[in-house]
Structure 1
């Protein structure tokens, strides 16, 4: 019971040293690995972020984890993320496995209810997105897309109506 609030000065010094060193090394590794590692998150990126945080925590807190072992684990996670993202650029099947497709939720003045239900998005949320864009009316919107990161993109209606689907919507799921 006496070790709940304080164990010893050595354990605090160990945490201090490991926290600083592992934090600095993680920052260096993330900078070397490139912007993609810190990009807006899809589900795959979120999992990597949680795994990195958990590993960093283990390095700092666990007496069973050495700095070299923890840094190796961090480097391995970052390397795997780099490999998977590199492969997903070159192979559509891997890309489909690790990230969702963008989804069309509003098009030509209509809320696409089935898509909204699948993505668990309400009409009020889409109206909020429109307001955040500074628009006053649904008539000013051609399309709203839920991107792979969960963010929304609003395509404005142009003065001349589209006679065919805009090319930017080519790979957007209906």
Structure 2
């Protein structure tokens, strides 16, 4: 019984090596054809697609229930949907507003933007952590702004930089 945990036979290892190699080569070719945007983490939607592609590849590799053709179809579908969403977003602003979020200013010229912080569920303590991780700053007045970007990362603008008005971030 415990032997099955560590080794279930050479056929399973061979399947992972063969199917994994083929799926990997296909994924690389697919990403080259669809362009850099397929894996760009520009917003939450892009992150979800990136995670879904990774999960799909793992399933192709490890599940005996998924044939290579089904896995390739799933990867192609994810890339095609990502392409379609990006294509429509560039051409229709209303759709773009639905699938992507805008950057949010959380601190401006030493003052916390409390309404914005509440809206995006970020605490003052979390912003202090952001300050410390960006140059070891310890006081809000030492920076010009902290912005929560569309991809979930934080940007810290120096105090001497031209800080945009919160309504003009995008």
Q: Normalising to structure 1: TM-score of the pair?
A: 0.80
Q: RMSD over aligned Cα, in angstroms?
A: 2.7
Aligned structure 1 segments of 4 or more residues deviating by more than 4 angstroms: none
Counterparts of 2:16 and 2:142 in 1: how far apart (Å)?
Answer: 56
1:89-128 pair list within 5 angstroms? 89-128=90-129
Counterparts of 1:84 and 1:156 in 2: how far apart (Å)?
Answer: 35
Counterparts of 1:126 and 1:102 in 2: how far apart (Å)?
Answer: 15
Name the residue aligned to 1:84. 85
User: Retained in 1: the 8 A contact 2:43–2:152?
Assistant: yes
Which structure 1 residue ranges, 5 or more long, are not aligned?
none
Name the residue aligned to 2:56. 55
Q: Normalising to structure 2: TM-score of the pair?
A: 0.81
Partner of 1:106, secondary structure, is strand
Would you say 1:152 and 2:154 are equivalent positions?
A: yes
Partner of 1:49, secondary structure, is helix
Q: 1:125 to 1:45 in 2, by over 3 A?
A: same
Q: 1:133 to 1:9 in 2, by over 3 A?
A: closer
| Residue 142 of structure 1: how far off its partner (Å) | 2.6
Which structure 2 residue ranges, 5 or more long, are not aligned?
none
Deviations 1:92-127 (A, max 9, x none): 222122121211111232101221122222223222
Name the residue aligned to 1:4. 4
| Residue 81 of structure 1: how far off its partner (Å) | 0.5
Name the residue aligned to 2:31. 30
The alignment covers a number of residue pairs equal to 168
User: Retained in 1: the 8 A contact 2:128–2:138?
Assistant: no
Name the residue aligned to 2:16. 15
Name the residue aligned to 2:168. 170
User: Retained in 1: the 8 A contact 2:59–2:66?
Assistant: yes
Counterparts of 1:78 and 1:70 in 2: how far apart (Å)?
Answer: 12
Deviations 1:11-61 (A, max 9, x none): 331222001111221122123322222223532122212321222122222
Deviations 1:68-89 (A, max 9, x none): 2211210121111011112112
